[in-house]
Amino acid sequence: MTLVITFIVCLVLISEGAFASRLSVSGDHFVYNGEKVFLSGGSLPWINYAHDFGNNQWAGVKSQVENQMKMLRDAGGNTMRLWIHIQGGSTPQFDNNGYVTDFDKQGTFMNDFKDMLNLAQRYDILVVPTLWSAAVNQDRSHHLDGLLVDWRKLTSYINKVLVPLVRAVKGHPALGAWDIFNEPEGMLKIGESHDDPCFDTTKLSGSGAGWAGKRYNYYQILRFINWQADAIKKEDPEVLVTIGVWNPKSCTNNFGLANHYSDACLYKAGKRQMGKLDFYQFHTYSWAGKFDNVSPFVNKYSDYGTSKPIVIGEFNKKNGGGRSFKQLFEYAYGHGYAGAWSWDLVSKGRDERYGISLLKDHTENGKIPIHI
């Protein structure tokens, strides 16, 4: 009888994914299923901007997302970055005072999200959901604004949506990491002096930051990240958390700059111990045909002075310093970075998948094709 009970318990655990591999960090690189891996892929990032999940919207885009996952898998990629709320245009559900009350109005968000992860598992793709973005100011209802400036509204999102969502998908084998915020520097107030380097933005004057409107200081931005990262980690301590910075200028203590997203800075703003990032994600685009001196495509991983892995999380050929996708992906793989995600698979997918395909058989800096 004891043997029978043990066998049944094992079957239940297996069916719930208890023994499924999960992406983890080991020093400066990622590990999956006991092996060093390089995260190779790209951003989808949406089919219908801010309207892919919830409110019965997923059904209309599912086949297109599935096709993108299949093509990425066939090219040898293993990771896809997908945008979720963006600035709250469709989800989550807000009341008239800007407090979050639910996932969405029609009640499909949770099933949509789970279905997306199940699709990704079918095609051996790790998904990195990007929750919010400050790259473009389209926050006409001030939904994102409320979460950034009012801790009570941020708490309503965390309690009503984030925690239940993380709890519901905890341990899903296709969930690679949570990406809390895309390019927060888009709405950063530049040129503000502060005694603490974490909140001082004078070094970013003239950098291009604040292009979408200078609305938030680093205290507000870092609290926003710290609280959400902490909530995620409390529900799922093993899952990875990151954000996507517009340029390494805001995320390194080298080059005469300041790393505003260090563990210490995030804690100073939010005071929540678990609200830290597991890896950094640098975006980089050339200007007038050249990358700046801080770009990962003119530096190697060790030049940034961090012990956390770095993924080059956005780049493209149009603003790629005159390099092909082949050269860009190979540079990322050969210079100590832990991953490379091109932008974006919908509009430039054919060229990007070609670059991705040229890496798939490499193993010296981590294997790429995985089985979920």
> Which of 35, 314, 352, 364 is an active site residue?
314
303 neighbors 271 (Cβ within 8 angstroms): no
> Which of 16, 35, 66, 183 is an active site residue?
183
H helix or E strand, kind and range, residue 354 = helix 345-357
Q: Tell me, what DSSP letter sits at residue 90? A: S
A 10 A CB-CB count for 214 gives 16
Helices then strands, counting H and E runs in the chain, come out as 10, 13
Task: Give the C-alpha distances (Å, rounded to integers) separating 102 from 48, 125, 138, 287, 298.
Answer: 21, 28, 21, 41, 45
| Single-letter amino acid, residue 281 | Q
User: Each residue of 262-291: b (16+ CB within 10 Å) or e?
Assistant: beebbbbbbebeebbbbbbbbbbbbeeeeb
HEC string for 140-195: CCCHHHHHHHCHHHHHHHHHHHHHHHHHHHCCCCCECEEEEEECHHHHECCCCCCC
Tell which residue, 204, 243, 202, 205, has the closest CA to residue 224: 243
192 is catalytic: no
311 neighbors 341 (Cβ within 8 angstroms): yes
Tell which residue, 171, 71, 167, 156, has the closest CA to residue 117: 171
128 neighbors 79 (Cβ within 8 angstroms): yes
Task: Give the C-alpha distances (Å, rounded to integers) separating 152 from 86, 89, 224, 231, 275.
Answer: 20, 20, 11, 15, 18
Q: Tokens representing 157?
A: 């999102």
Residues classed as catalytic = 183, 314
